[in-house]
Amino acid sequence: MIDINKAVIARLKKGGENFEVLVDCDKAIEFKSGNVELEDALASDKVYKDAKKGERAPEKEMYKLFDTEDNKEIIALILKKGEIQLTVEHKNRLREEKRKKIINLIHRNAVDSKTGLPHPPNRIEKAITEARVNVDEFKSAEAQIENVLEKIRGILPIKFVVKEVEIMIPAKFSSSSYGVVKQFGKILNEKWGNDGSLILVVEIPGGLQDEFFDKLNNLTHGEVESKVIKERG
């Protein structure tokens, strides 16, 4: 068990009653994800009605509401189904992780609306900072993309696009290239030549075009042929 002085509260309301347990913030979140044992997340094995006041939850009512007299099972349910109080440090870390994911999503899927070229991640990050975009640590990165784009469009010419690319791969590189192509996008059509060469039509996020072409050129020593046949956004 962890130091009780460093603990935060995990709280679950059930049947109109409040049930609280003292836990380690990071490890309690890991427990919810199934990554650590329950004991590793706890600062105490007691269940409280009000942890700050040290007021214990009445056992008779608790056992009835949870339909078990197994305290370990009750505590596990409180952690899994309840809310965990986050430390400032943890909130900041979540926010930074979410910010990086948003930047990566924009980099992968968006291009400069004037040139059609991808924006580097550092340029996107600078625009987000300049536009003073507030990242919500509790919302998914995907749910925040539209708001972020709206804020940074006044700074960066930007749009989301999907591109269909046709690539022709010589026989000696076709097998090794196939897996790489699948990592970058969705294969819409494939045609194998009698000589083992491969023609593919692939749908990729617009921001990955340069990286995709560079990867294939390196893999085939420049012998791949590629062209964008359709763009939509």
SS (H, E, C) 82-123: CEECCCHHHHHHHHHHHHHHHHHHHHHHEEECCCCCCCCHHH
Domain that holds residue 148: 88-160
What pLDDT, on a 0 to 100 scale, did the predictor assign at position 39?
93
Q: Would you say residue 2 lies in a domain? A: no
Residues 6+ apart with CB under 8 A from 138: 94
**Is 44 in contact with 1 (CB distance < 8 Å)?**
yes
Long-range contacts of 25-29 (CB under 8 A, 24+ apart): 25/84, 25/85, 25/86, 25/87, 25/90, 26/90, 27/2, 28/79, 28/84, 29/84, 29/90
CATH number assigned to the domain comprising residue 220: 3.30.70.240
Domain boundary, last residue among 68, 84, 100: 84
- Is there a contact between 24 and 2 (Cβ–Cβ < 8 Å)? yes
Residue type, 166: E
Distance CA 192, CA 198 (A): 5
Q: Is 1 inside any structural domain?
A: no
Domain boundary among 142, 160, 178: 160
Per-residue pLDDT of the chain (233 residues; tens, 9 = 90+): 777 888 999 999 999 999 999 999 989 988 988 889 999 999 999 999 999 999 999 999 999 999 999 999 999 999 999 999 988 888 899 899 999 999 999 998 899 989 888 899 999 999 999 999 999 987 888 889 989 999 999 999 998 889 999 999 999 999 999 999 998 889 999 999 999 999 999 999 888 888 899 999 999 999 999 999 998 87
124 lies in the same domain as 177: no
- State whether 222 and 166 are in the same domain: yes
Same domain, 225 and 194: yes
pTM, rounded to two decimals: 0.63
- Count Cβ neighbours within 10 Å for each residue of 147-183 and write b for 16 or more, e otherwise: ebbebbeeebebebbebbbbbbbbeebbeebeebbee
Do 43 and 106 fall into the same domain?
Answer: no
Whether residues 25 and 77 share a domain: the answer is: yes
Distance CA 216, CA 107 (A): 19
Please check whether residues 144 and 178 belong to one and the same domain: no
- Of 62, 84, 106, which residue sits at a domain end? 84
pLDDT at res. 32: 86
Q: What is the DSSP letter of 133?
A: P
